Amino acid sequence: MTDRPRLLPCGDAALSVDFGNVISIAVNRRVHALAAALGAADLAGVIETVPTYRALTVHFDPLVLPPDLLERTVQGLLDHGDATVQPARRWHVPAVFGGAFGVDLDACANAAGLDPADYIATFVAPVYRVMMIGFMPGFSYLANLPEGFARPRLATPRAAVPKGSISIGGAQAAIGSVEGPSGWHLLGRTPAVPFLPGREPLFLFEPGDEIVFDPVSASDWGALAAAAERGDPLVRLVETEPRP
């Protein structure tokens, strides 16, 4: 981690503000605080800001916004304190764990030295943070995996895993969005639909949001999935206050 972010040009129409090569909630908060400050500055020529785990990419029109002016503006925002805590939306997300919904649960529990029930209870205890959205539309990378739960990715990725899969890979957890390939370990699945074309909002979760998993029975899956198909988001927003 670096105290002073590096400003790295990405061609002639993008700038990366690099806060450090680590997975850290503190670093991620700085990324999102800068994104919010830059948005509030309403600088002409800024097209889009893209937050990741530890960097913010700023896409801009160099014919409207000279690169040196953008760099000076970013430096000024950093000098005025980029680490301001931003309000966090906390979502409660229903999830079915194990069995056909989480085929790797037993193996992961065994690796952690826990029985499946204790493993699930430990997994759902933290408040997870959406660090970034990527890989597929709406795919949410989550930080705050319990200690001892990290697992190396599968040697042979699966060609397709169901949408809504809840998985772990390395020291990260994730909520999948659409069916696709994955080398992560499948613990469960949510009937909620994180990404749905034509819906408003298109994406349920945003970087900086907080996630709490609420276990539900496999017998509830059919009714919940049907409700999601009818447009019910299923998730509950329960907090909008800043988190320390």
Region 80-86: mean pLDDT is 59
Region 85-103: mean pLDDT is 90
Q: Residue 200, exposed/middle/buried by CB under 10 A (0-12, 13-18, 19+)? A: exposed
* Residue 114 contacts residue 122 (beta carbons within 8 Å): yes
Average model confidence (pLDDT) across the chain: 91
Residue with tokens 């945003």: 206
Q: What angle do CA 33, 234, 145 make, to 5 degrees?
A: 50
Give the pLDDT confidence score for residue 241 in this predicted structure.
Answer: 55
Give the whole-angstrom CA distance, residue 215 versus residue 213. Answer: 6
Q: Domains in the chain, please, with CATH?
A: 6-79 (3.30.1360.40), 90-239 (2.40.100.10)
Q: Report whether pLDDT(243) > 50.
A: no
Q: Give the number of residues written for the chain.
A: 244
* Residue 82 contacts residue 75 (beta carbons within 8 Å): no
Give the pLDDT confidence score for residue 229 in this predicted structure.
Answer: 83
Q: Report whether pLDDT(82) > 70.
A: no
Q: Report whether pLDDT(116) > 50.
A: yes
Query: Percentage of residues in the chain with pLDDT exceeding 70?
Result: 94
Tens of pLDDT along 189-231? 999 999 988 888 889 999 889 999 999 999 999 999 999 888 8
Tens of pLDDT along 17-66? 999 888 888 899 899 999 999 999 999 999 999 999 999 999 999 999 99
Q: Report whether pLDDT(71) > 50.
A: yes
Looking at per-residue pLDDT, the higher value among 77 and 242 belongs to 77
Tens of pLDDT along 159-169? 999 999 999 99
Q: Report whether pLDDT(232) > 50.
A: yes
Give the whole-angstrom CA distance, residue 182 versus residue 171. Answer: 15
Residue with tokens 């206050």: 241
pTM of the shown model: 0.85
* Residue 172 contacts residue 126 (beta carbons within 8 Å): no
Give the whole-angstrom CA distance, residue 126 versus residue 145. Answer: 7
Q: Report whether pLDDT(81) > 70.
A: no
Give the pLDDT confidence score for residue 1 in this predicted structure.
Answer: 43
